[in-house]
Structure 1
Amino acid sequence: MGLLVWLGAAFGALSGPFLARACWSLSVPSGEPRRTRCQDCGAAPAGLPRGRCSGCGRCLGPAVWWLSLSAAAACAVSALRVGPHPAVIAYLAAAPVLTALAWIDAGVKRLPDVLTLRLYPVLLAALLAAQLTDRHHGSLLRALAAMAALAVGFYALALLSPGALGLGDVKLVGLLGLLLGWLGWTSVAAGGFLAFATAALASVALLATRRAGRKDTIPFGPYLILGTLLALALHP
């Protein structure tokens, strides 16, 4: 188990430079093409972004080391929760992508389809293979049910509160439903509760420090992802 956690953390850490590229190129308003050049000087970064433009020094998004640390923590938590089971492949594949989605949504309030939708077939294939390999741990049927329930529920909420939730949140929560539903309905409930709880605490803190007003909206994606990771870390 300890070796698996260390290997998961190493995998997450190594994904940092690639996550930096994704965060930089996809942190654009909805409908705009991917970013390929620095917004200030127009220089195309050589290789993977290292946090700042080599031409003018502009910040190109979150630092690589911070993304590596975040992804390493997410992968380690996933490996610790799932253990040496074939399903861990799905969680290790999802953790770095969810890390990038959290950073992008926090920056530009957007959850790019190119990340969320492409992760669906990866998780479904990995969980299906895990189910066929070991039928005694986890349930693909429950994961699909949780995915559908959360997606439908959040779609209804998005229709009722279009300013607070968007279709990006609906697509994201379906992914999280797959991951939590595989483990059990208790994990699904814990992830949802922790997501709303952390979002509420963050909103209160932003209001108290006057970094946001009562009419401002905050991106919910990072808290959905944080709630999922906390549910994995805290729930036995």
Structure 2
Amino acid sequence: MPRVTPPAAAGVPLTDWPTAPVPAGTLVALAAAVALGVVLGALAPVVVFRLSVPAGTPPRSGCPRCAHRFRPGPSGWLRVGSRCPACRVRAGPSSGVTCLAGGLSFGVLTAVLPGEPALPAFLAVAAVGVPLAGVDLACLRLPDPLVGGALVLAAGGLAGAAGWSGATGPALRGLLAGLAGAAGHLVLALAPGSRLGFGDVKLAGVLGLLLGWLGWDVLLLGLLLPHLLAGVAAVVLLSTGRSRRDQPLPLGPALLAGALLAVALGR
């Protein structure tokens, strides 16, 4: 078997060794995806603030300081930034954090799923995932309107991808994976002493639908990584005194982050 000589040993500087250039179209698509994620992330703080209420309570209708009323209809929900236009008090999470989350998730998905017909479905759920994580962090809830919207976007996007590409196998696998993800978390939620909510069960089903499209190995990673991330976060919070042993912690952000990480590692 012929011996392969490393470039440096052969007298060729590593800086001169030929490399495959990244296509310009790929860089443009990646930049556009990051920009879109940042813009959608900028719209998240108002949604988070209005929906961060106890279950069964109507969404917030105005500023907590000056009682400035939100506009009725979509314009009252789709507003850039997190500060009240009247008194400038911040309502909801920092827009810098939500913009970072949106841009990062869109960038990672676009980078690891180039040419994937189901990419729009992944991006749509990632867009909904930013306010979902914010609401769960604020009040330990995953509101049904957001989870239901994510389900519609995921199912519709995968159905469109299957119809366009003819990939019925991944679509069927995604359906079974979604049911498996929801069923597995339902068992955990019904276990004695469990702190999982049914919002976590529903979100696990939605994410399983997407992860199953990519493969069973990606689904397995997506089911295990969230609980590993949540465990690490719990240990850190307990060790720093920011949480108590009897204090429930949100699982939604870990489910979303674990799914994103599973896609990146699995692909």
TM-score range, shorter chain: over 0.9
1:10-25 equivalence runs, <5 A: 10-25=35-50
1:37 aligns with 2:68: no
Amino acid at match of 1:177: G
Per the alignment, in what secondary structure is the counterpart of residue 139 of structure 1? helix
2:236 aligned with 1:205, yes or no? yes
Compare 134-143 and 196-205 and name the one that shifted more: 134-143
C-alpha spacing 1:82/1:49, structure 2 compared with 1 (3 Å): closer
Match of 2:130 in 1: 99
The residue type equivalent to 2:42 in the other structure is: P
Cα distance in 1 between the residues matched to 2:130 and 2:122: 12
> 1:67 maps to which residue?
98
Q: Secondary structure at the match of 1:15?
A: helix
1:17 and 1:50 in contact (8 A); partners too = yes
- 1:9 aligned residue: 34
Unaligned runs of 5+ residues in structure 1 are none
**What is the deviation of 1:126?**
1.3
Contact 1:79 1:91 in 2 (8 A): no
What amino acid does structure 1 have at the position aligned with 2:95? V
Percent pairwise identity: 36
Aligned Cα root-mean-square deviation (Å): 1.9
Q: Could you report, residue by residue, the CA deviation over 1:58-91 in whole angstroms, capped at 9, with x for unpaired residues?
A: 3201122321121111111111222123211101
Is the radius of gyration larger for structure 1 or structure 2? 2
- Total equivalences in the alignment: 236
Q: Residue in 2 aligned with 1:172?
A: 203
TM-superposed CA distance for 1:9, in Å, is 1.0
Give the residue type in structure 2 aligned to 1:149: A
**Number of the residue aligned with 1:149:** 180
TM-score if structure 1 supplies the norm length? 0.93
* SS state at 1:111 partner: coil
User: Could you say which residue in structure 1 is the equivalent of 2:107?
Assistant: 76
- Give deviations 1:192-212, integer Å, cap 9, x for gaps: 221111100000001101111
For 2:47, the aligned partner's letter is: A
Aligned residues of 1:45 and 1:53 also touching (Cα < 8 A)? no
- Residues 15-71 of structure 1: per-residue CA shift (max 9 Å, x gap): 123212211111111111011201232112576263223444432011223211211
TM-score w.r.t. the length of structure 2 is 0.83
Deviation, structure 1 residue 129 = 1.5
Counterpart mapping for 1:86-235 below 5 A: 86-135=117-166, 139-161=170-192, 163-235=194-266
CA distance in 2, matches of 1:96, 1:165: 23
Work out which structure has the larger RCO, using CA pairs closer than 8 Å and 6 or more positions apart in sequence. 1
Q: Deviations over 1:163-202 (max 9, x none)?
A: 5101100111111001111100111111122111110000
Q: Is the 8 A contact 1:25 1:35 kept in 2?
A: yes
Q: Which 10-residue stretch deviates more, 57-66 or 140-149?
A: 57-66
Q: Which amino acid is the alignment partner of residue 2 of structure 1?
A: L
Q: Structure 2 CA distance, aligned partners of 1:210 and 1:101?
A: 26
Q: 1:109 to 1:161 in 2, by over 3 A?
A: farther
Q: 1:38 and 1:111 mapped to 2: Cα distance? A: 22
Instruction: Write out per-residue CA displacement over residues 209-235 of structure 1, whole angstroms, 9 at most, x where no aligned residue.
Output: 111111111011110111011112222
Query: Deviation string for 1:118-149 (max 9, x for gaps)?
Result: 22122112111111222359701110001001
